[in-house]
Amino acid sequence: MQEMLDLAVQVEGLDGLELVGNWHVNDDNIYEVAEMFSDRGLKICMLTPDLWTQAKWGRGSLAAPDAPTRQAAIDEVRKVMDWAAELDCPYIDVWPGQDGFDYCFQADYIEAWQWFREGLTACAGHNSKVRILVEYKPKEPRTHCFVNSAAKTLLLLDSMDNVGVLLDVGHAIYAGENIAEAAALLSSYGKLDYVHLNDNYRSWDDDMMVGAVHLVEYLELVYWLRRLDYQGWLTLDIFPYREDGVAAATQSREWIEAFFRAVDRVGMDEFAQVIGRADACEAVDLVRRAMNI
Amino acid sequence: MQEMLDLAVQVEGLDGLELVGNWHVNDDNIYEVAEMFSDRGLKICMLTPDLWTQAKWGRGSLAAPDAPTRQAAIDEVRKVMDWAAELDCPYIDVWPGQDGFDYCFQADYIEAWQWFREGLTACAGHNSKVRILVEYKPKEPRTHCFVNSAAKTLLLLDSMDNVGVLLDVGHAIYAGENIAEAAALLSSYGKLDYVHLNDNYRSWDDDMMVGAVHLVEYLELVYWLRRLDYQGWLTLDIFPYREDGVAAATQSREWIEAFFRAVDRVGMDEFAQVIGRADACEAVDLVRRAMNI
Amino acid sequence: MQEMLDLAVQVEGLDGLELVGNWHVNDDNIYEVAEMFSDRGLKICMLTPDLWTQAKWGRGSLAAPDAPTRQAAIDEVRKVMDWAAELDCPYIDVWPGQDGFDYCFQADYIEAWQWFREGLTACAGHNSKVRILVEYKPKEPRTHCFVNSAAKTLLLLDSMDNVGVLLDVGHAIYAGENIAEAAALLSSYGKLDYVHLNDNYRSWDDDMMVGAVHLVEYLELVYWLRRLDYQGWLTLDIFPYREDGVAAATQSREWIEAFFRAVDRVGMDEFAQVIGRADACEAVDLVRRAMNI
Amino acid sequence: MQEMLDLAVQVEGLDGLELVGNWHVNDDNIYEVAEMFSDRGLKICMLTPDLWTQAKWGRGSLAAPDAPTRQAAIDEVRKVMDWAAELDCPYIDVWPGQDGFDYCFQADYIEAWQWFREGLTACAGHNSKVRILVEYKPKEPRTHCFVNSAAKTLLLLDSMDNVGVLLDVGHAIYAGENIAEAAALLSSYGKLDYVHLNDNYRSWDDDMMVGAVHLVEYLELVYWLRRLDYQGWLTLDIFPYREDGVAAATQSREWIEAFFRAVDRVGMDEFAQVIGRADACEAVDLVRRAMNI
């Protein structure tokens, strides 16, 4: 962890890091972890319960077909909420990657949906200092995850006040969503709580640097984040498999700043006017001017 | 129309046909149309307002950026509802194919969503004899349609009692959905009202015959339709571009019946047991036995 | 045609247009057409035999399962070659959109491949003033076209000296190709003869304006076109369904020029150096600087 | 290894296994390995050089941008060829998964292609008892692999007599190929040497059991394998992440046998006749009868 944090501070503009429960934090090291972060002026922006790496989650967590596993998942989420509260971390990220199915005839869709809602409800009120965020993803490790789109997540969380949504931009892209539309939809339901940034080639969670592929879509997203007055974290969730991690994070931050510059270059009003006219030729002209190419 | 109906009666097991407002039905011919159907023992199972072929819908219908077009769409839907009531047709199919966007920065996602809800609400109570069904589709003619998945449609229709959903199986497939899961989700919200059957290669609305590609998924769908006690129409929405229409419809019907036979071959209880065990090996074994291969 | 040409001259920088045999050119009007073009200082850059709209091509053209259709296709191609020669147009575009299949068990892949090779060979030497270009496309109107990738086209044209390739950038994108790689591959076999420009969302031939989606890929393509010393036409093949045609063409041209400016901004040498180091972080940095964002 | 082989013999009908060089075989254990196989009556059907797991292949193997890595890859392939010869294994599987690129501007497509051809040529004649097979795959671990389709592999291997192709059915599916067409194409160039069987959902190498998704396509493939008189191995390359390995292999074998039964049910002649008529309605009827549903 020390090593990770020492690398992290080399990334200019980095204010915090996400941690995973049991991987990085446990009952024994919690105060030590808090100190390592405060020593470096870093925040813990997210604590994620590990609901996917251990064998016991092999057939699901909150929506597993057997009741004891579902209860174990609820217990795990609650425990991590308490750790988060101790660490002054306002969010936990429930990413139900193992809840889904690989083959047809392997899931009872009606029951799974109810189990999910019951499990989240059972967790939601556990610790009022911590808000649960659900992170949707279309697939992997399952070939089909149940919670696979912005709209389905909103439907799942209907009437759960203390539960919000984590929008992972890469997940939205390979779920076939327009990412700005996803952000706007979540925001209009009061549930655009947190954003993960990365990029991919639309068919898999490649976790590439920002700036890799979707320049137009990212520009539109950044415009909408500003328009929606999004004040939350912009966190990198990249996986620099062959790259230097500090360099990859730095490049991603440079691209994000470039998109904000591009929005400023044209100005919020002009964006609004072009959108209002719904004219494709004006739209591509706007993008070219904003990009400054 | 006479010609179309004369072809239709050649398809064994065909009980009814869908019509499009203004294409097939108008104020002048409505009783004549009713008679043509009753003469042949056919029902009009659906009347669809034309919200996509005329130039005035080029930038949208119920969610168009300009208010007069939105009002014109509401008027069109209401008029077709009245025609449907006259024809004893219980449903109209609102397919908002032009409501969406092609390019980034061409749509105001927040406003479009509100306009959609306002428009549907304005239509919903217009004629109590007729239920509005919304048909979702990921794209075409727009590169992005707003109403593009089962979950998003349910979200859109939240608290609209007299509005349901038309599940077009091909649309669901190329929206990346598991079709049985989509049917189950819609049903659990009381909105699995009507089903269009066809098949495709997952990236476009090829409107192929049933039996063309997705045998496992169709088998699972048919099992769930029976389990959900779906009593509605199973309508073919195929486009036999190079084929004889009667032969293509006949083959599709044969395949549908074959899937029902396959479900019966194994029995509902065994399906439920295999699903309950969530075991992939049992699932593929079940499929092989059901298919009788 | 007059009207089309009068619109065309409104697009700044437009030097020529493509025509389709029988749609625009026939034995009776050929000199009249030539004059309309020369009057306006426009060139005919391509003549395309119509091998897809008429009913006789419904099951294929050069690779149709029946011999008379195949012969008719050869005759059509040869006739259009002669028209092209008369019009000083150096290319004809063989786009075999109907040669393929929709369903499994609908094509004899071995025979179709041979028929294609025989047909092209029969045409290749017909008129030495005109070069046949084959345009590949993954699908539409067929769900599967036989000639669906750069590599497969090169394989098909093996040892056919007077036959080259038309790279339609949109076709390459939704065939899953990296477009710069496709251009380089074709060029290394001496068959990058002609380029169609447009853009799409990777799953269909949306025929959108340049600048719509694939900015990074287009920048890479333009770099490679310059490096490969491509001197051929850059033709727009866009379909501005809801847009003003002149405006859409103008925007596309502006984007193309912007990409060339972006390449110049950084310089060919630096591109080569970054590519040589195969470093992803340098690559995304290069793109950001070239785009000037 | 003992454990693996003891599990393997539990799969009815299994005749051999593939091994990976250095993982399973090295200079020290080669005779021991041979004995373990012969003791159980098993063959080593394939030996695969490990060109992907070690850090030295991180930027490529046979087409790496630096010459020493390319030479190391050639040496590795040759060494494994010699081991294969010692083990009476007639094939090695060159799967160049690291040869490709993740980002635009990260590869020199022209040079990479030449390096590939030079490397394969340098290996091809090394040991006349062993045939090199190249296994294509569209992506993973790279977002773009150079050798990504049947046609591109054939182009790459042009005029290399002692090098063939390994068709991994799952790779072909998510490369967007029709698998029967890919088999026929490879066979017509004398390079359908070996087949890997598995299934997936068309966007990733899910390595699922045969019978999971593509029933129609698999039926067509099996028909063509028989028609092409394919006599080579049919090897399972599945990854039963959550399943019992023996059960998953057994189910896959059952499905393969079922497809052969289905072909026999209708008979080769009838398949040929239906294909010859290129009629979609007959094709889906044929599939239904063959499947016996």
Q: What is the DSSP string of C77-125?
A: HHHHHHHHHHTT--EEEE--TTSEESSTTS--HHHHHHHHHHHHHHHHT
Cβ of B103 within 8 Å of Cβ of C212? The answer is: yes
Tell me whether A65 touches chain D (CB under 8 Å).
Answer: no
pLDDT lower than 50: segments of chain A = none
**Phi, psi (rounded to 5 degrees) for A92:** -125, 150
pLDDT band with cut points at 50, 70 and 90 for residue C14? very high
CB A14 within 8 A of CB A70: no
Tell me whether A105 touches chain D (CB under 8 Å).
Answer: no
As a whole number, mean pLDDT of residues D117-124 equals 98
Tell me whether C106 touches chain B (CB under 8 Å).
Answer: no
Domain that holds residue A40: 2-264
- Residue B29 has a CB neighbour count (10 Å cut-off) of 13
Tell me whether B152 touches chain A (CB under 8 Å).
Answer: yes
Neighbours of chain B (3+ CB pairs under 8 A): A, C, D
Report chain B residues whose CB lies below 8 A from the CB of D215. 215-216, 291, 293
Cβ of C208 within 8 Å of Cβ of B58? The answer is: no
Does A286 reside within a domain? no
Cβ of B242 within 8 Å of Cβ of C206? The answer is: no
Q: What is the pLDDT of residue D11?
A: 95
Token code pair at residue B217: 């998924």
Best residue in A206, A210, A213 for a mutation probing chain D (most D CBs within 10 Å): A206
Q: What is the pLDDT of residue C197?
A: 98
Does B106 reside within a domain? yes
Cβ of C280 within 8 Å of Cβ of A254? The answer is: no
Residue of B nearest to C203 (CA): B203
How far is the alpha carbon of B66 from chain C, nearest alpha carbon, in Å? 16
- Name which of C202, C243, C291 is nearest A202 (Cβ-Cβ): C202
B181/B187 Cα distance (integer angstroms) = 10
As a whole number, mean pLDDT of residues C205-222 equals 98
Tell me whether B247 touches chain D (CB under 8 Å).
Answer: yes
Tell me whether A272 touches chain C (CB under 8 Å).
Answer: no
Cβ of A206 within 8 Å of Cβ of D102? The answer is: yes
- B73-106 pLDDT tens trace: 999 999 999 999 999 999 999 999 999 999 999 9
C249/C243 Cα distance (integer angstroms) = 10
Number of structural domains chain C divides into = 1
Cβ of D280 within 8 Å of Cβ of B243? The answer is: yes
Q: What is the pLDDT of residue B191?
A: 98
How far is the alpha carbon of C46 from chain D, nearest alpha carbon, in Å? 28
CA-wise closest residue to D242 among B282, A3, A110, C180: B282
Cβ of C208 within 8 Å of Cβ of B103? The answer is: yes
Cβ of A275 within 8 Å of Cβ of B108? The answer is: yes
Residue A12 corresponds to which amino acid? Answer: E
Output DSSP code: residue C16.
Answer: E
pLDDT band with cut points at 50, 70 and 90 for residue B58? very high
Tell me whether C127 touches chain D (CB under 8 Å).
Answer: no
Alpha-helix residue ranges (DSSP H) falling in chain B: 2-8, 30-39, 67-86, 109-124, 150-156, 169-174, 179-188, 215-227, 245-266, 268-277, 280-291
D204/D201 Cα distance (integer angstroms) = 7
* Partner B, chain C 187-226, Cβ-Cβ below 8 Å: 200-201, 203-204, 206, 208-209, 212
CB A155 within 8 A of CB A116: no
Tell me whether D20 touches chain C (CB under 8 Å).
Answer: no
Cβ of A258 within 8 Å of Cβ of C211? The answer is: no
D218/D156 Cα distance (integer angstroms) = 27
Token code pair at residue B54: 């005329």
Cβ of C281 within 8 Å of Cβ of A211? The answer is: no
Neighbours of chain A (3+ CB pairs under 8 A): B, C, D
CB D98 within 8 A of CB D51: yes
Best residue in C101, C104, C137, C179 for a mutation probing chain D (most D CBs within 10 Å): C104
| Burial of residue C242 (number of CB atoms within 10 Å: 0-12, 13-18, 19+) | middle
C121/B242 Cα distance (integer angstroms) = 28
Tell me whether C105 touches chain B (CB under 8 Å).
Answer: no
Tell me whether B240 touches chain C (CB under 8 Å).
Answer: no
User: Strand D100-101 and strand D131-135: pairing?
Assistant: unpaired
Q: Please name the residues in contact with B127: beta carbons below 8 A apart, sequence gap of 6 or more.
A: B78, B81, B82, B84, B85
- Name which of B59, B141, B208 is nearest C102 (Cβ-Cβ): B208
Does A207 reside within a domain? yes
Tell me whether B243 touches chain D (CB under 8 Å).
Answer: yes
Q: What is the pLDDT of residue A101?
A: 98
- Name which of D242, D244, D284 is nearest B212 (Cβ-Cβ): D284
**ipTM of predicted assembly, 2 dp:** 0.97
Cβ of A288 within 8 Å of Cβ of C254? The answer is: yes
Q: What mean pLDDT is reported for chain D?
A: 97
As a whole number, mean pLDDT of residues C212-228 equals 98
Best residue in D281, D285, D286, D289 for a mutation probing chain B (most B CBs within 10 Å): D281
- B257-274 pLDDT tens trace: 999 999 999 999 999 999
Cβ of C288 within 8 Å of Cβ of A255? The answer is: yes
Report chain B residues whose CB lies below 8 A from the CB of C241. 102, 141
Does D179 reside within a domain? yes
Does A70 reside within a domain? yes
Tell me whether D178 touches chain C (CB under 8 Å).
Answer: yes
pLDDT band with cut points at 50, 70 and 90 for residue B251? very high
pLDDT band with cut points at 50, 70 and 90 for residue D37? very high
Cβ of C278 within 8 Å of Cβ of D220? The answer is: no
- Name which of B140, B144, B242 is nearest C59 (Cβ-Cβ): B242
Token code pair at residue A151: 């709209």
pLDDT band with cut points at 50, 70 and 90 for residue C283? very high
Token code pair at residue B177: 């959905």
Reduced to 3 states (helix: H, G, I; strand: E, B; else coil), residue A85 is helix
Does B151 reside within a domain? yes
Q: What is the pLDDT of residue C101?
A: 98
B70-94 as b/e: b if 16+ CB within 10 A: bebbbebbbbbbbbbbbbebbbbbb
CB D278 within 8 A of CB C98: no
CB C40 within 8 A of CB C48: no
A229/A225 Cα distance (integer angstroms) = 6
Q: What is the pLDDT of residue C122?
A: 98
Reduced to 3 states (helix: H, G, I; strand: E, B; else coil), residue D285 is helix
Q: Report CA dihedral (C51, C57, C63, C66) to the nearest 10 degrees.
A: -150
Q: What is the pLDDT of residue B52?
A: 97
Residue D109 corresponds to which amino acid? Answer: Y
Tell me whether A55 touches chain B (CB under 8 Å).
Answer: no
pLDDT band with cut points at 50, 70 and 90 for residue B132? very high
Does B9 reside within a domain? yes
- Name which of A103, A277, A283 is nearest B280 (Cβ-Cβ): A103
Report chain B residues whose CB lies below 8 A from the CB of A284. 103
Tell me whether B180 touches chain A (CB under 8 Å).
Answer: yes
CA-wise closest residue to D236 among D135, D168, D171: D168
Domain CATH number, residue A201: 3.20.20.150
Does A280 reside within a domain? no
Cβ of A102 within 8 Å of Cβ of D141? The answer is: no
Token code pair at residue C245: 């045609």
